[in-house]
Structure 1
């Protein structure tokens, strides 16, 4: 099937080679180990019509052998197909792999799932030391109306709320962007209100690691990370802190409550009344 034609070939041989093209169009692989088959380019499906995969190849996927990532890519392709069929907004095909990799990173950095371990790792909110201010931030996604909530709370060393912010935005394509945008808005709020000596605290391990790395960030959300770094340059002192969800309850609750908002809201030395109990619980947990 791989023989070549030549100028001196006989008429019979040339006829055989012409027939080879006909055979190729109707022939299909019988799958054994699958190592010799080009899954996306050759006939191997056991059907007469369209015996090859017709879904476009995901850019960047070639040569990748990661079962977990492969499963996420398949899920995103399936979800994309359903959204297209229903006329809903969908992920561009060239962003499928990128989005799948982000989801995989999120799953790797998620909190420990063991019930017993979670019980022993619960950590309350802690106040900043000296004359610093701590900003807790959180992002929440609302898939039903394709929106997201950004929330930030600034507190002093006594645990008193200095300012709180709640803002609703269109849902970004990547989940991690919601967290980065929340951090960016939180630090921007601190600069706008004139707070200095800041500790920026959240529960996203991906973002925390990104902020610790010096130099350019070439991830799809790298430009937003650079914005956070830019706002930190206006502060006399700045550091980041990673906390578990149990230590970020107030910002988390603010984010979830933002679904009903259609605008940005800022509270000075106050929070919504339904969150006062969380503020009080954080205060009683302080040493």
Structure 2
């Protein structure tokens, strides 16, 4: 019976039961991330049942957006379902979506270790690894993220030179738009504006949304959902001496992606000049590895 209540607290999000318990015991995350051991007898009983479920339950991967690589149990054959990994490569709260090509649904080329090497194969993205731009150009990676646990979203941009050095970075938390496509085109617009405002007018823009990159390359302003934003982007591009848009896989866009996930905890707008937050610097260094 208590196991059923745990199920309700993870799925029946419209019920009064869910809203009361969430507000009190796990306001910012799911019931499976709740750690408070104080509260009513009912809550303590639910916690005991939750712990039992956690020991035996496994996530179905799907698109990976709801699963944390290191924190959640998703490996079917492991004792506790969790992966062992070099935490210096990915952030402790990294999402499984980072390992999945959003277009094909297949694993990106990635090697994880859990007692033995697992080959995660096939990627259909244009590029996998981040590469610095040519001399006298900057490369601007951008990403947008929808936060499932709240009504927020993140827009994030990082600008790097031909040596791979960070020239500027931005993280902005906004109200969640109607679709993931809109948040991606808004991130692209943010990247163009930020590049212009920081004085970089010879730019290569990279994003991991194939749909948005194709719209930007085609200059397709007739797109009904995001055409007005695309018009704004094209208007701002008139001040650029040179610019281009290219697609890169999630692995090659990991700095912007990590910043987008970090926006959950950010103030509405944060900007860094010639640096990134300390918890993002390892991703910058990873991109520079040969």
TM-score if structure 2 supplies the norm length?
0.59
Q: Which digits, 9 at most, give the CA deviation of each residue in 1:157-214, with x for residues without a partner?
A: 0000000000000000111010011110111011111111111100010011111224
Unaligned runs of 5+ in 2: 1-11, 20-100, 108-119
RMSD: 2.7
**Deviation (angstroms), 1:229:** 1.4
What are the residue-to-residue correspondences of 1:130-141 with 2, within 5 Å? 130-141=135-146
Separation in structure 2 between the aligned mates of residue 111 and residue 260 of structure 1, nearest angstrom: 30
**Deviation (angstroms), 1:121:** 8.7
**Deviation (angstroms), 1:84:** 8.0
1:199 counterpart residue number: 204
Separation in structure 1 between the aligned mates of residue 171 and residue 210 of structure 2, nearest angstrom: 22
Unaligned runs of 5+ in 1: 1-81, 89-107
Separation in structure 1 between the aligned mates of residue 185 and residue 124 of structure 2, nearest angstrom: 28
**Deviation (angstroms), 1:143:** 2.1
2:103 counterpart residue number: 110
Query: Are residue 146 (structure 1) and residue 139 (structure 2) matched?
Result: no
2:112 counterpart residue number: none
What are the residue-to-residue correspondences of 1:221-232 with 2, within 5 Å? 221-232=226-237
Q: Which has the higher helix share?
A: 1
Greater Rg by CA: 1
Contact map agreement 2:126 2:248 (CA 8 A) in 1: no
Contact map agreement 1:109 1:205 (CA 8 A) in 2: no
Change (3 A) 1:158 1:148: same
Query: Are residue 219 (structure 1) and residue 212 (structure 2) matched?
Result: no
Change (3 A) 1:224 1:117: same
2:166 counterpart residue number: 161
Change (3 A) 1:276 1:172: same
**For 1:249, what is the secondary structure of its paired residue?**
helix
Separation in structure 2 between the aligned mates of residue 274 and residue 188 of structure 1, nearest angstrom: 25
Separation in structure 1 between the aligned mates of residue 244 and residue 124 of structure 2, nearest angstrom: 28
1:235 counterpart residue number: 240
Query: Are residue 126 (structure 1) and residue 142 (structure 2) matched?
Result: no
Q: Which digits, 9 at most, give the CA deviation of each residue in 1:26-66, with x for residues without a partner?
A: xxxxxxxxxxxxxxxxxxxxxxxxxxxxxxxxxxxxxxxxx
What are the residue-to-residue correspondences of 1:1-287 with 2, within 5 Å? 110-114=103-107, 115-118=120-123, 123-214=128-219, 216-285=221-290
Tell me the matched-pair count: 186
**For 1:176, what is the secondary structure of its paired residue?**
helix
Change (3 A) 1:119 1:167: same
Separation in structure 2 between the aligned mates of residue 135 and residue 120 of structure 1, nearest angstrom: 18
